[in-house]
Amino acid sequence: MTSQPPEAMRFIMLLTMCILTSLVAQSLGLLIGAAMSVENGVFFGPVASVPILLFSGFFVNFNTIPGYLQWVPYVSYIRYGFEGAMISIYGYGREKLSCSEVYCHFRSPTKFLEEMDMATAEYWIDAVALAGFFLLLRCVAYLVLRLKLRSKR
């Protein structure tokens, strides 16, 4: 539907990124639900999501973030999902994109990745980072839930 190349490996890579990102988001929701009451969780969830989304690369390129905030994108799980999805779609030697105009700046997929500051990104690093976020958040959610249940007894 979006004229992507019909390559099974690209599809599997993109599907993996989508699944890992959704599992991490679900884990964050489980942690917030285990740690807080419903009223506090309804407030804290969206408030915690704003910096995660803001520094993910959707709104601000990584190279335009001020020096004192350069560490924030590394704790944004959406950054890794977005970067991995972009690499799976436009990376790994994808052929030039079709264009009906005389000049197309983004005809070359590598030029697009350079503009997004993702030319040197590695897919496996993004996948491992998302898996790490998943495991960490699930373990912390388990420990918080266990601690809460122990204090109720």
Query: How far apart are alpha carbons 45 and 51 in whole angstroms?
Result: 11
* Residue indicated by tokens 């690369």: 57
Indicate the pTM of the whole model.
0.85
Domain residue limits, the chain: 8-54+64-152
Query: How far apart are alpha carbons 67 and 95 in whole angstroms?
Result: 35
pLDDT digits (tens, 9 = 90+) for 8-56: 898 999 999 999 999 999 999 999 999 888 888 888 888 888 888 888 7
pLDDT digits (tens, 9 = 90+) for 92-151: 878 887 777 778 877 777 888 888 888 888 899 999 999 999 999 999 999 999 999 888
* Residue indicated by tokens 């197309």: 104
H or E element in which residue 137 lies? helix 123-152
